[in-house]
Amino acid sequence: MATASDREALSGVKDDYQYGFSKPEEYVFKARKGLNHEVIDQMCDMKNEPDWMREFRHRSLDIFLSKPMPTWGADLSGIDFDDIYYYIKPTEKQGKSWDDIPASIKDTFDRLGIPEAERKFLAGVGAQYESEVVYHSLQEQWTKLGVIFLDTDSGLREHEDVFKEYFGSIIPPSDNKFAALNSAVWSGGSFLYVPKGVQVDIPLQAYFRINAQNMGQFERTLIIVEEGASVHYVEGCTAPIYASDSLHSAVVEIIIKDGGRCRYTTIQNWSNNVYNLVTKRARADKGATMEWVDANLGSKVTMKYPAVYMMGPKAHGEILSIAFAGRGQTLDAGGKVVHGAPNTSSKIISKSISKNGGRASYRGLLKVAKGATGSKSTVVCDALLLDDHSRSDTYPYIEIDEQDVQVGHEASVSKVNEEQLFYLMSRGLGEEEAATMIVSGFIEPMVKELPMEYAVEMNRLIQLQMEGSIG
Amino acid sequence: MTSELVIKDLHATVDDGAKAVLKGVNLTIRQGEVHALMGPNGSGKSTLSNAIMGHPHYQVTSGDILLDGESILEMEPNERARLGLFLAFQYPVAVPGVSMANFLRTAVSNVRGYTDQPMVSDNNRPGMVGSNLMPMREFRNELLSKMDEFHVDRSFAKRYLNEGFSGGEKKRVEILQMAMLQPKIAIMDETDSGLDIDALRVVSDGVNKLAGPGLGILLITHYQRILNYVQPDFVHVFFDGRIVISGGAELAHELEAKGYQWVKDEFGEAELVKA
Ligand SMILES: Nc1ncnc2c1ncn2[C@@H]1O[C@H](COP(=O)(O)OP(=O)(O)OP(=O)(O)O)[C@@H](O)[C@H]1O
Ligand SMILES: [Mg+2]
């Protein structure tokens, strides 16, 4: 008869296997599940953070605990905050080998055309990384120009002054429950500083993924673009398959000074059990431009509305958002533009695709403050439904406190057009191939904004999503 | 072997069976032949084209369509395309966001059988996914030379398929697609409609270039004028869902001179009496 400790050992073994391709969890430290002030203190001790950050985290936790769950958007009742590890620090050790990765996952990587090095990374057999980002590629030349590109923890350690000046200034913990949660337990993410007048002309990239069972990911990204500088930051996420629900709740804050430009591109393909609740906001000063390009394919629930606050005259904000909702998925995405100064302009383009009963919504806010004269804004949201039981909703909120403005709003919902399908099929394309081509065409205005390799990956992701969706 | 498309006593309905449109069509088209089909508006010419290509809105209720002796009625439109059928649409459909080059490369790869081959990846580009489409360079060369040959501006390769194309441009692009897909039997549904004189010449030159022993053409038209450029071997008059008279090229002149009234007088009555 097995003793209690045998059973424990055995169940441990079983758990290891059920993780599928998550690597064995070897951590120098692993916090308890659940969240309280003690966990925060442990985390701060481990990370050796300054007192002001410790206070900030504690304060944020209080705000998190005091705020109710949002009741709009998507059903979040599946999140159990007590069943999540809030901080895990990786060891220096390597994980398992590439041979241990299941063929199906390798196959997916193949079909996505992910480069060798990145595959290993994504499969968790490359460099160790969990809550802390350890993958950054940055050309040396930028470093010479004074560009700082670090994971956020290192950013805090190595550049505390700049960090402290901007951190939490765009998205305070009180902004919403999940921003408060992130503020309390953030770990990893990117810290990017582009000095005055520096043009970073290749996209900077960072990869994140969830790895530990039930571990929430709470990256915190802070980007500062000084006067007349410009940068394109690209974030791609791919997650492996999990046995139980996962929470991902990031915060991204961006400050663009006068005449600066920033583009932030995201391609997100979380596995279909992830709650992805992200707060992204940028402040654009005089004549500055902010562009969010945001594509969301996976996840169980995504709630994400990248925002641009145009606070200086002639600032410009653009949001291109794509959501692809399949079976059992709710993608509530969109954008917010706030015109806080005269002659500011903005454009929101949202494209959503729903299939197999998936639900994609556009939720957007357009706000023009009093005094923001001569401002212009266009909002276009198009939804494509692949079948009769999928759903698309549009929630455009418009608040305009100024007379002298030009605002346009267009929305359309369409089904995959049978005449288009027949036309393409009459030229030899199979039905699924034809439907995929129509869907790719539908999102093409956005895909063409992506860097080449991401555009390729995006089209592959669409193909994978479309597989088996016909007949 | 000469391919032949045989349409046998074809009856078809539209609108989920509510409306009978084809009422017993009989027609055989062989490779190398040019058939002109003329008939009044609403008589069912496009319905016949759609039924041949397998449009899901048109239901064949009786009769058969055979290609080289095999019924194609159960086949999907793409299977029919792969067997060598082609339909130049009366109203070509726009597909926003899909470049003509990308679309045509995929179409050609399917019709010519490239997609039956396994994926191969290009070793020089690590991380790039394999493909089983027609090799890019080869395709591009062929496309560009055919664009020149059929007077389609090269800039159209990058444009989205039929989006914002003028009526005449759409028709020219249909001919270009036909040239790329090299069908055995092509149905051209009013490819000459809406063209100015120059475009008409370009389109009919195109048809003449493609016509030959390897291609059978069913040219649906309202106008004698295209037949000044393209010599039909047979002319058929289509009326109320079927072919009522067939003859040689001279029949087209007769129609042009007399209009359809005499056909109506002769065959419309008969239908009324029958009904
Ligand atoms: N999808 C459809 N739904 C309903 N009715 C249809 C449909 N397609 C064709 N019809 C009807 O069938 C009849 C024949 O139409 P069809 O388009 O085949 O004529 P046609 O001979 O091609 O005319 P035209 O010379 O004007 O092109 C018409 O009465 C038309 O309204
Ligand atoms: Mg017609």
Averaged over successive runs of 10 residues, the pLDDT of chain B (275 residues) comes to 95 88 96 94 95 96 96 97 97 95 96 84 47 88 95 95 94 96 96 86 90 95 86 94 92 82 71 40
Long-range contact list for B112-117, CB < 8 A, 24+ apart?
B113/B82
State which of A251, A271, A304 marks the end of a domain: A304
Among A423, A452, A461, the residue to mutate for chain B (most B Cβ within 10 A): A423
Closest approach of A23 to chain B, Cα-based (Å): 23
Determine whether the interchain pair B111/A445 forms a contact, defined as Cβ–Cβ distance below 8 Å: no
Does ligand 1 lie within 6 Å of residue B15's CB atom? yes
The ipTM (two decimal places) reads 0.94
Q: Are A393 and A352 in contact (CB under 8 A)?
A: no
Q: Nearest residue of B to residue A436 by CA position?
A: B98
pLDDT in tens, A73-86: 888 888 888 888 78
Same domain, A132 and A268: yes
Cβ separation A425–B76 shorter than 8 A: yes
The counts of H helices and E strands in chain A are: 12, 22
CATH code (residue B247)? 3.40.50.300
Calculate how far, in angstroms, residue B46's C-alpha sits from the geometric centre of ligand 1.
6
- How many independent structural domains does chain A possess? 2
Q: Counting one residue from A and one from B, how many pairs have CB atoms under 8 Å apart?
A: 98
* Domain closes at, from A241, A275, A304: A304
Tell me how far apart the alpha carbons of residues B211 and B217 are, in angstroms, rounded to a whole number: 8
Is the distance from the beta carbon of residue B43 to the nearest atom of ligand 1 less than 6 Å? Answer: yes
Of B54, B107, B127, the CB nearest to A428: B107
Taking CB atoms and an 8 Å limit, are B110 and A440 in contact across chains? no
Q: Ligand 1 in contact with B47 (CB < 6 A)?
A: yes
The burial of A428, by beta-carbon neighbours within 10 Å (0-12 exposed, 13-18 middle, 19 or more buried), is given as buried
Mutate to test the pocket of ligand 1, among B10, B13, B19, B89 (most ligand atoms within 8 A of CB): B19
Please check whether residues A296 and A444 belong to one and the same domain: no
The pLDDT assigned to A29 comes to 54
Q: What is the C-alpha separation between B232 and B218, in angstroms, rounded? A: 9
Segments of chain A with pLDDT less than 50: 1-28, 90-96, 124-137, 207-216, 238-244, 471
- Indicate if A428 and A289 belong to the same structural domain: no
Which of A225, A169, A163, A162 minimizes the C-alpha distance to A189?
A: A163
Residue A44 domain-assigned?
yes
3-state secondary structure labels for all residues of A61-81: HHHHHHCCCCCCCCCCCCCCH
C-alpha to C-alpha distance for B251 and B258, rounded to whole angstroms: 10
Q: Is the CB of B80 under 6 A from ligand 1?
A: no
For A116, the token pair is: 């060798």
Based on the fold, state whether residues A103 and A243 are members of the same structural domain.
yes
In a domain, A268, yes or no: yes
Residue B58, phi then psi, degrees to nearest 5: -115, 120
Domain with A444 in it: 419-466
Contact: B129, A456; criterion CB under 8 Å: yes
In chain B, the number of structural domains is 1
Are A445 and B97 inside 8 Å of each other by CB? yes
What is the distance in A from the centroid of ligand 1 to the CA of B41? 8
User: Do A427 and A298 share a structural domain?
Assistant: no
> Which domain-ending residue is among A263, A278, A304?
A304
Domain residue limits at B116: 4-121+130-218+226-274
